[in-house]
Chains A and B, each alone.
Chain A
Amino acid sequence: MSRPTPYTIVIGLEVHVQLLTRTKLFCGCSTQFGLPPNSATCPVCIGMPGVLPVMNRAAFELALKAALALQCNIAPFTKWDRKNYYYPDLPKNYQISQYDLPFSTGGGLEIMTPQGPKWIGLIRVHLEEDAGKLLHDETGRGGDSLVDLNRAGTPLLEIVSKPDMNSPEEAKAYLEELRLLLREIGVSDCEMQEGSLRVDANVNIRIPPEHAGGRKPLPGRQYVATPIVEIKNLNSFRAVERAIAYETQRQFEEFQESGKQLGEVSKATAGWDDVQGVTVVQRRKEEASDYRYFPEPDLVPVEVDQAWLDRIRATLPELPAARRKRFESQLGLSAYDARVLVGQGLAFADYFEKVARECGDAKAASNWCSNQVLAVLNERKISIQDFPLAPEALADLIIRVKKHNINAQRAREVFGIMLQTGETADGIIKRLGLDVSFDAEELRELVKKSIAANAKAVADVKAGKQKAMDALVGFVMRETKGKAPTDEVRRLMNEELAKV
């Protein structure tokens, strides 16, 4: 949790994700990550004279799919525009993007905050092409920069949120929820390390007049707003959180000195230095960028009708938000459990559902999945697809643990052996003799026996030394070769001690 601040943080995020197509947006070159430099280019993505773009249908449909999942309004008519600027990784010196008629507007997604669920709205989602990569001379001697155009022309979705987030944690929650959604619907793999998810954060703060050091809000505002800074080069969710936290405090301090408010100076761009943990504000560009947008004459507009949208909608899996609600209402899970399970992704939640269905106890299935299974996945750094136990096997274990009243520690032992040897729960339980069931009376007799045989311990417990309880319970466990359910033994022991 962040410290309470005398100001409100306002955050809007611009997220770029690469779409999971085989080929680029306008040509048949591969979008695979990590190919040798300049080995996946052609005249179209090099922007050679006379070549023309032709839109990849799969890219457009993935974009539609994402927008539908984000509950955006899909425009019935959309077109492409050129954004003109010079940069050596942009071969045509214009980027084919969308300006005044993006294919979707509005929409949003719900995140969980300590205060409860919160809706983060979107301004727009649009489709555009990526630029290539520029490698700078790292020696600092000002040597030439190198251009690799493999990435040039890769399809990108730009998702622009409203400034609806008010803390670094909310920004992170939004990004996590967005990533989960886009992965689940197969639109993007959202790998930040490979650049398939990139984040720019627009950040400023609102200071109530009583903390504004005598500065009055500009007309029409109840508060003092600082100029917006766009933080770029955020390469992890952790960096997003840290950068926002740092930048907002920096803005507060800067405001104390400069008194400059939003609207009095132009928007600035900042880089994030992950090592130093600081934002580095670049010179404010007084000469605003002039991108000279105009309609891309080499591409034709796209009209989207209801039938097409219905077809795309039919390919959407159950979305995380809906699934959480169903886990709560249908399976009786808590909101927290539902969030943990769904948050692990589509395959994990599927796995859980199978276990729950097979064992008939959703709560137990949830506990097993979000504790033991998840721990193994994290420890082995594998995904659920590579988890050695089939959901049926885990369900079987859960059923037997219940049937034989096996205690939690022994159950985890069985689980561990199943993982190691691939044996069935049934076989292991039999081998360990855990299938013996004790009826309550049998156990109660053993408990009485323990009380009779351990007068000292009984006296200690009576004197308030709870530690002595272990000796009494241990006696029963020894008698049963460790097969008795500890919790049950403790319960009975308390009952019988009360009578002494």
Chain B
Amino acid sequence: MQLIERTAAELRALMAQGEVNAVQITEAFLQAIRAREPQVQAFLHVDESDALAQATAIDQKRKHGWQLGPLAGIPVAIKDVLCTKGQVTTCGSRILENFVPPYDAHVITRLREADAVLIGKTNMDEFAMGSSTENSAFKTTRNPWDLERIPGGSSGGSAAAVAACEAPLAVGSDTGGSIRQPASLCGIVGMKPTYGRVSRFGLVAFASSLDQIGPFSHDVTDCALLLEVIAGHDKRDSTSVYRPVPPYSRTVNTPVKPLTIGLPREFFDEGLDPEVNACVQEALKVYRGLGANIKEVSLPHSRYAVAVYYIVATAEASSNLARYDGVHYGYRAPDFDSMIHMYSRSRGLGFGKEVKRRIMLGTYALSSGYYDAYYLKALKVRRLIKEDFDRAFAECDVLMGPTSPTPAFRVGEKAENPLAMYLSDIYTISCNLAGIAGISIPCGFTKAGLPVGLQILAGPFEEEKLLRVARMHEAQTDWHLRRPRL
């Protein structure tokens, strides 16, 4: 196995044994980026000399026998939605093309403190709005398993970077499935932690009550390792929860026994691709073989989740994105004849179509005369969705189902039909609305060789259990060892 195909845990062990150092590892991944980026296009910015300087500093630390962080020398790719001090942070948008934040996101601070090597900023749907990464203002990222297809989104760059072995770890953000869906489509592990588990400080907001940052990795052990680093309270985020972070990486190999798995019947409805369903059924067989008790449950209001999501998320987004107006930072259109015109032209030219569409929808849902029918109604149904989960978790440890109804679709296939694109998040969205934790792990491939993901959901702050359950399947299978041929 090549160095770049290794997991973070393996690379850590190799460094500890003195087989390889951080600079060599970083060089290997930079080499992979140089070789593969023309096809994959996962990154928006890679600063080679900066990455090597970080790696050199870590090697120096190791040489001097200084204490090293848990991710010492491990390259991590960063979705360009996270602010990095002194480095351009674009959020995949023209409107922020030249924006240089004077601050690091909390997660970035945590990664630096853990001695990770921040290897580059990854492509994404503009302002994390999309399920294919086609909405980036800058490039279209390809699925490493089939370059004609999309990697999923909105964290498609981060998912593709890990799948293509351009980085062993990546961070993304998940508002309605933006980590789990691309992880599923790219055949890797991706997790959305409980709302409040990871600080959102420095995460460019899409929908504040739904956004959460989470890890991408080849396997569950690495996911645990990265989550351990980024999770925890931050006094700069009022919604970040004051609660100790369990040592996920130390407990990940302990199976959960007894284990009751709930299968929400709504996750196996029409619209689910038969090949995807077959892979999920195989995974369930594995759990059954491990003695799990599997029962059908119902989340009766989940059929409304997409509608609720597209009201709540767009309403919040319409307000969150109001600040991009060409006054204090960001793009200002060159020609205008008044203040209002300056605003609307800068925003009209600075934002892409999907962002404008969602701002329009969210503005409409909040506007006078429609607020009760749309926004308020959606918040009420949101409670019903959450209560469905509360009932299910009262009798099950975890819920399982497919992450995405279909494998990766072709570039351009759904670009003209936003509603069809929205429906590709049908299984991931309710998790964000309820604020619970969810993970996608690889569970097979279609005949065409496209990865399929198994989604596992657990109650609030049950990440530890979620990782242990995910690891049980992984220990019995080898899907996580597959790497695309590039």
Contacts and interface: CB of A to CB of B under 8 A. Distances in A.
B145 interface: no
B91 interface: yes
Interface stretch (A42-50, A158-166, A197-205, A415-423): A42-50
Contact of B319 (A43, A53, A84): A84
Which range contains the number of B residues in contact with the other chain? 35 or more
A326 B328 CA distance: 54
Contacts of A288: 368
B78 to A, nearest CB: 13
Contacts of A297: 207-209, 239, 316
A88 B103 CA distance: 23
Contacts of A408: none
Interface in B370-425: 371, 375
Interface string B320-351: 00110101110000000001100100000000
Given A292-B367, A294-B366, A298-B238, A50 B322 contact: no
Interface in B196-227: 200-205, 207-209
B315 interface: yes
A237 interface: no
A86 B204 contact: no
A93 B325 contact: yes
B83 to A, nearest CB: 5
A437 B200 CA distance: 83
Contact of B322 (A51, A55, A93, A145): A93
Nearest to B315: A294
Nearest to B83: A50
A94 B319 contact: yes
Given A86-B322, A91-B323, A298-B208, A49 B315 contact: no
Nearest to B127: A49
A91 B328 contact: yes
Contacts of B367: 290, 292
Interface stretch (B94-102, B279-287, B443-451): B94-102
B238 A51 contact: no
Contacts of B366: 84, 292-294
A53 B327 CA distance: 20
A133 interface: no
B237 interface: yes
Interface string A52-81: 111100000000000000000000000000
A49 B204 contact: yes
B236 interface: yes
Contacts of B205: 49-50, 298
Nearest to A147: B327
A92 interface: yes
A239 interface: no
A86 B343 contact: yes
A84 B366 CA distance: 10
Contacts of B82: 50
B89 interface: yes
A49 B343 contact: no
Interface string A315-347: 000000000000000000000000000000000
B322 A54 contact: no
B99 A49 contact: yes
Interface residues of A, number: 31
A94 B203 CA distance: 19
B327 A49 contact: no
Interface in A288-315: 288, 290, 292-294, 297-300
A93 B238 CA distance: 21
B201 A88 contact: no
Contacts of A51: 103, 201-202, 236
A298 B239 contact: yes
Contact of A92 (B83, B322, B343): B322
Contacts of A149: 328
Interface in A146-169: 147, 149
Contacts of B363: 292
Contacts of A147: 327-328
A46 B101 contact: no
Interface string A263-297: 00000000000000000000000001010111001
B83 A49 contact: yes
B315 A47 contact: no
Given A48-B102, A84-B318, A147-B327, 20 more contacts: A43-B101, A49-B89, A49-B101, A50-B101, A50-B105, A50-B203, A51-B201, A51-B236, A52-B237, A52-B239, A86-B340, A88-B339, A92-B323, A149-B328, A292-B371, A297-B207, A297-B208, A298-B205, A298-B208, A298-B238
Interface of B: 81-83, 89, 91, 96, 99, 101-103, 105, 200-205, 207-209, 235-239, 315-316, 318-319, 322-323, 325, 327-329, 339-340, 343, 363, 366-368, 371, 375
10 contacts: A50-B83, A52-B238, A54-B235, A84-B322, A88-B327, A92-B322, A147-B328, A292-B319, A293-B366, A300-B238
